[in-house]
Structure 1
Amino acid sequence: MNVKFNIYIVIFLLALLFSVFLFLACGQHSGLTNKTNSIDEYLMKLEAHGFSGSVLVAQNGNILLQKGYGLANVQTSEKFSEETQFPIASITKSITATAILLLEKKGKLKTTDHIGQFFKDVPNDKKEITIHHLLSHTSGLVRDVQRTSRDKLLRLILDSKLIHPVGKQFAYSNAGYQLLGLLIEKITGDLYEQFILKRVFQPLNLTCSFENDSSVWRQIPMAFDESQNYTIFKKNYRAENKIGQGGIVCSITDLYKWFFSLLNGDIIDNQHLAKAFSPQVMIKNQGNYTGYGYGFYLNFADPEDRVIIHGGDIFGYHSELQWYKDSDRVIILFSNKELYGLGVHKRIIVSNINKLLNGKKIIQPEEFETLSSDEKLPYVGDYKIDENNLFHVWHENNHLMIGAEGQEAINLIAVHNQDQKEYINQKNRLTQQIVTALTTGQEKILKDILSKSEYDFFVSYWVDVLENSKKKYGKLRKVIVKGANSYPWQEKYIRCYAYYFFENKTVDISYVWDQNTLRETLEESGVQYPVVMRLVKHSENVYSVFDLVTSKGQLIRFDDQKLSIKVKGNPILAIKY
Structure 2
Amino acid sequence: MKKLIISIMLTNAILLASLCSQTLPTENLSEKIDSLMALQQKPDEPGGVITVIHNNKVLHQKAYGVMDWEEGTKMTENSLIDLASVAKQFTAFAILLLEEQGKLDLDADIRQYLPELPEYEYTITVRNLLQHTSGIASTDLLRVFGDIHFDVEWTHQDDINLIKKYAQLNFEPNTSFEYSNGGYALLASIVESTGGMHFAEFLRENIFEPLGMNSSMVNYTAGQDLQHMSKGYRSIPDGFEHISSVNDFSYGPGNVLSTLNDMILWGQNFLNPKLGNEQMMERIFNPYNTLENGDSIMYTYGFYVRTHRGLRAVSHQGGVPGFTSNLAIYPDENLVIIVMLNNESIRSIAMTNAVAGLLLSDKFTPVEPEKPKVEIPLATEKAEPFQGTYRMEDGMEMTFAIEGDEFWILLPGDTRLRLYPYSETSFLMKEIEVFVSFIPENDGEVNQMIWRQHGRDNHASRLIETEPLTQEQLALFAGDYYQPYLTTDYPVLLEDDRLKIMMPSSIKRYLGFESVQLSHIRDDLFATDFLGMMEFTRDDNGQVNGYTIFSVGRLKDIIFLRK
User: C-alpha displacement at 1:52, in angstroms?
Assistant: 1.6
**Matched letter for residue 209 of structure 2:** Q
Partner of 1:355: 357
**Matched letter for residue 39 of structure 1:** I
Query: What's the CA shift string for 1:75-130, capped at 9, x where partnerless?
Result: 12122232221010111110000100000101101111111211225434355111
User: What TM-score, normalized by structure 2, do the two folds share?
Assistant: 0.57
SS of the aligned residue for 1:326 comes to helix
**Matched letter for residue 317 of structure 1:** F
Query: Are the structure 2 counterparts of residues 330 and 113 from structure 1 closer, same or farther at C-alpha, using a change threshold of 3 Å?
Result: same
Alignment check: 8 A CA contact 1:305 1:325 kept: no
Q: Which residue, out of 29, 51, 61, partners 1:66?
A: 61
Partner of 2:544: none
* 1:214 and 2:214 matched: no
* 1:346 and 2:355 matched: no
* Within-5 A mapping of 1:382-397: none
* 1:323 and 2:329 matched: yes
Partner of 2:467: none
User: C-alpha displacement at 1:277, in angstroms?
Assistant: 2.4
Partner of 1:556: none
Partner of 2:27: 33
Alignment check: 8 A CA contact 2:66 2:73 kept: yes
Q: How far apart, CA to CA, are the structure 2 residues paired with 1:92 and 1:309? A: 12
Alignment check: 8 A CA contact 2:271 2:334 kept: no
Partner of 2:273: 265
Q: How far apart, CA to CA, are the structure 1 residues paired with 2:233 and 2:200? A: 27
* 1:223 and 2:229 matched: no
* Within-5 A mapping of 1:70-469: 70-125=65-120, 127-144=122-139, 145-146=142-143, 149-151=155-157, 153-158=159-164, 159-206=166-213, 207-211=215-219, 212=221, 214-225=223-234, 230-231=241-242, 233=244, 236-240=245-249, 242-281=250-289, 291-300=298-307, 305-338=311-344, 341-342=345-346, 345-359=347-361, 419-421=429-431, 423=433, 466-469=502-505
Q: How far apart, CA to CA, are the structure 2 residues paired with 1:64 and 1:182? A: 37
Query: Are the structure 2 counterparts of residues 215 and 422 from structure 1 closer, same or farther at C-alpha, using a change threshold of 3 Å?
Result: closer
Alignment check: 8 A CA contact 2:298 2:304 kept: yes
Alignment check: 8 A CA contact 2:180 2:554 kept: no
Q: How far apart, CA to CA, are the structure 1 residues paired with 2:222 and 2:204? A: 13
Alignment check: 8 A CA contact 1:55 1:82 kept: no
Query: Are the structure 2 counterparts of residues 34 and 406 from structure 1 closer, same or farther at C-alpha, using a change threshold of 3 Å?
Result: farther
Alignment check: 8 A CA contact 1:87 1:249 kept: yes
Q: How far apart, CA to CA, are the structure 1 residues paired with 2:530 and 2:264? A: 36
Alignment check: 8 A CA contact 1:53 1:336 kept: yes
Alignment check: 8 A CA contact 2:501 2:515 kept: no
**Matched letter for residue 468 of structure 1:** P
Alignment check: 8 A CA contact 2:46 2:68 kept: no
User: C-alpha displacement at 1:281, in angstroms?
Assistant: 4.7
Query: What's the CA shift string for 1:451-477, capped at 9, x where partnerless?
Result: xxxxxxxxx99999952139989xx89
SS of the aligned residue for 2:41 comes to helix
Query: Are the structure 2 counterparts of residues 46 and 208 from structure 1 closer, same or farther at C-alpha, using a change threshold of 3 Å?
Result: same
**Matched letter for residue 421 of structure 1:** E
Question: What is the CA RMSD across the aligned residues, in angstroms?
Answer: 4.7
Query: Are the structure 2 counterparts of residues 150 and 39 from structure 1 closer, same or farther at C-alpha, using a change threshold of 3 Å?
Result: closer
Q: How far apart, CA to CA, are the structure 1 residues paired with 2:491 and 2:277? A: 45
User: C-alpha displacement at 1:187, in angstroms?
Assistant: 1.3
Alignment check: 8 A CA contact 2:79 2:228 kept: yes
User: C-alpha displacement at 1:260, in angstroms?
Assistant: 1.6
Partner of 1:390: none
SS of the aligned residue for 1:217 comes to coil
Alignment check: 8 A CA contact 1:222 1:230 kept: no
Alignment check: 8 A CA contact 1:102 1:267 kept: no
**Matched letter for residue 321 of structure 2:** F
Size of the aligned set, in residue pairs, is: 379
Partner of 1:542: none
Q: How far apart, CA to CA, are the structure 2 residues paired with 1:356 and 1:406? A: 43
User: What TM-score, normalized by structure 1, do the two folds share?
Assistant: 0.56
SS of the aligned residue for 2:504 comes to helix
* 1:47 and 2:41 matched: yes
- More displaced stretch, 259-268 vs 160-169: 259-268
- More displaced stretch, 31-40 vs 252-261: 31-40
User: C-alpha displacement at 1:293, in angstroms?
Assistant: 0.5
Alignment check: 8 A CA contact 1:84 1:252 kept: yes
Alignment check: 8 A CA contact 1:126 1:166 kept: no
Query: Are the structure 2 counterparts of residues 216 and 293 from structure 1 closer, same or farther at C-alpha, using a change threshold of 3 Å?
Result: same
Alignment check: 8 A CA contact 1:73 1:222 kept: yes
SS of the aligned residue for 1:203 comes to helix
Q: Which structure carries more helix by proportion?
A: 1
User: C-alpha displacement at 1:291, in angstroms?
Assistant: 0.8
SS of the aligned residue for 2:275 comes to coil
SS of the aligned residue for 1:300 comes to strand
User: C-alpha displacement at 1:68, in angstroms?
Assistant: 1.5
Unaligned 5+ segments in structure 1 are: 1-20, 284-288, 363-404, 410-416, 431-441, 446-459, 481-495, 499-517, 523-577
**Matched letter for residue 32 of structure 2:** S
**Matched letter for residue 325 of structure 1:** P
Alignment check: 8 A CA contact 2:233 2:342 kept: yes
SS of the aligned residue for 1:33 comes to coil
Q: How far apart, CA to CA, are the structure 1 residues paired with 2:352 and 2:223? A: 31
Query: What's the CA shift string for 1:409-436, capped at 9, x where partnerless?
Result: 9xxxxxxx965426569899x9xxxxxx
**Matched letter for residue 199 of structure 2:** Y
Alignment check: 8 A CA contact 1:113 1:130 kept: yes
Q: How far apart, CA to CA, are the structure 2 residues paired with 1:108 and 1:221? A: 37
User: C-alpha displacement at 1:224, in angstroms?
Assistant: 1.4
**Matched letter for residue 309 of structure 1:** S
User: C-alpha displacement at 1:132, in angstroms?
Assistant: 0.5
Query: Are the structure 2 counterparts of residues 231 and 41 from structure 1 closer, same or farther at C-alpha, using a change threshold of 3 Å?
Result: closer
Alignment check: 8 A CA contact 1:71 1:79 kept: yes
Alignment check: 8 A CA contact 2:323 2:342 kept: yes
Q: How far apart, CA to CA, are the structure 1 residues paired with 2:507 and 2:335? A: 51
Query: Are the structure 2 counterparts of residues 204 and 318 from structure 1 closer, same or farther at C-alpha, using a change threshold of 3 Å?
Result: same
Unaligned 5+ segments in structure 2 are: 1-15, 149-153, 367-412, 418-426, 437-450, 454-458, 460-470, 475-488, 493-499, 518-528, 532-550, 556-563
Query: What's the CA shift string for 1:252-303, capped at 9, x where partnerless?
Result: 22122123224423222233333322214569xxxxx97110111111366x
Q: How far apart, CA to CA, are the structure 2 residues paired with 1:42 and 1:130? A: 43
SS of the aligned residue for 2:26 comes to helix
Partner of 1:573: none
SS of the aligned residue for 2:200 comes to helix
Partner of 2:548: none
User: C-alpha displacement at 1:40, in angstroms?
Assistant: 2.3
Q: How far apart, CA to CA, are the structure 2 residues paired with 1:205 and 1:296? A: 22
Alignment check: 8 A CA contact 2:46 2:233 kept: no
Identity over aligned pairs, percent: 25
